[in-house]
Amino acid sequence: MTLIDSQPLIDAFLDALWLEQGASENTLAAYRRDLLAWQDRLAAQDEGLLTPGLDALPDWLDQRRAAGYQLRSNARLLSSLRRFYRWALVEGKLQHDPLAEVRLPRVQPRLPDTLDEDEVLRLLEAPDVATPLGLRDRAMLEVLYASGLRVSELVGLTLASINLRQGVVRVIGKGDKERLVPIGEEAITWLERYLRSGRAALMQDVTRAPVFPGRGDGFMTRQTFWHRVKAHALTAGIDKPLSPHTLRHAFATHLLNHGANLRVVQLLLGHSDLSTTQIYTHVAQARLEALHAAHHPRG
């Protein structure tokens, strides 16, 4: 199968992912990269996308490992290819799955960076709330930690998407899936204070949609918010490695540490698959083990 023959097949697969599962643009782009790289590899060996040799993928994975690719990278690649071939099998384009006997590399879950509760408190208290910018940042941090929103969801909040009386925000997550997320009394208090005393000082036109404006009354970028978080972490004396989703990770971990049900955390985070949420059980388990070792007489 040539490159020209393969492209419509890849496009059809990606269209199916988008239509049936609401896959995001980033997810679709990752699948496309994996499939095109696999197609090029096969073409160099005079093999087609639907007719790979039995040793084609194991040999490629071995070469990738020798070239320095991490085990996790190979596992993700194999996962992409398996999904494609399962789709092709269902669509009747194959009689059998050519990767059925290829084993997925075992990958230990990568624990997300997070903060303990004292560190979160210090971060939340870092902004100077005597200024409109500081008040905005405090409200953003409070809402983020109280809700577990993705940073993109936080900076995309509009006035119409928040209901302070009911204490919820409405967000559009990955795959354009809508969910209502409670934010708690403390976050509501800071959000009300910011809307009452800070937002107008940051905007020329307060009727514009963004709750947390960036420049020119427009939506703040994720990069701008991330720079603000790093600055406040420095003020708070937090020297841990942080990511844009550190507070989202802390939200999930602290809920589980305090006894929340995993299914509830999944719904709050907007994960379509419970297995995605289960990574946080490892974080919580590590915390419980540390507490046991530190405080139990036979720890």
- The verdict on whether 230 is a catalytic residue reads no
Please tell me which residue in 208, 271, 282, 287 is annotated as part of the active site.
271
Beta bridge partners of 168: 163, 182
What's the rounded Cα separation, in Å, for the pair 204 and 177? Answer: 32
Structure tokens at 135: 């008040």
Please pick, among 31, 145, 194, 280, the residue that the annotation labels catalytic: 280
Whether 174 is a known active-site residue: answer: yes
Catalytically annotated residue among 150, 199, 228, 254:
150
What are the start-end ranges of the H helices in 107-237?
117-124, 132-147, 151-155, 184-197, 199-202, 222-235
DSSP single-letter state for residue 53: -
Residue 69 falls in the annotated catalytic set? no
Q: The tokens 């070792």 sit on which residue? A: 293
Active site residue 150: yes
To which H or E segment does residue 130 belong?
Answer: none
Residue 138 among the catalytic residues: no
Identify the active-site residue in 199, 228, 245, 249. Answer: 245
> Collapsing DSSP states into helix, strand and coil, what is residue 177?
coil
Active-site residue identified among 136, 199, 248, 254: 248
Q: Which of 86, 174, 179, 193 is catalytic?
A: 174
Q: Say whether 145 is catalytic.
A: no
Report in angstroms the alpha-carbon separations of 170 from 118, 162, 181, 260. 28, 6, 6, 22
Catalytic machinery residues: 150, 174, 245, 248, 271, 280
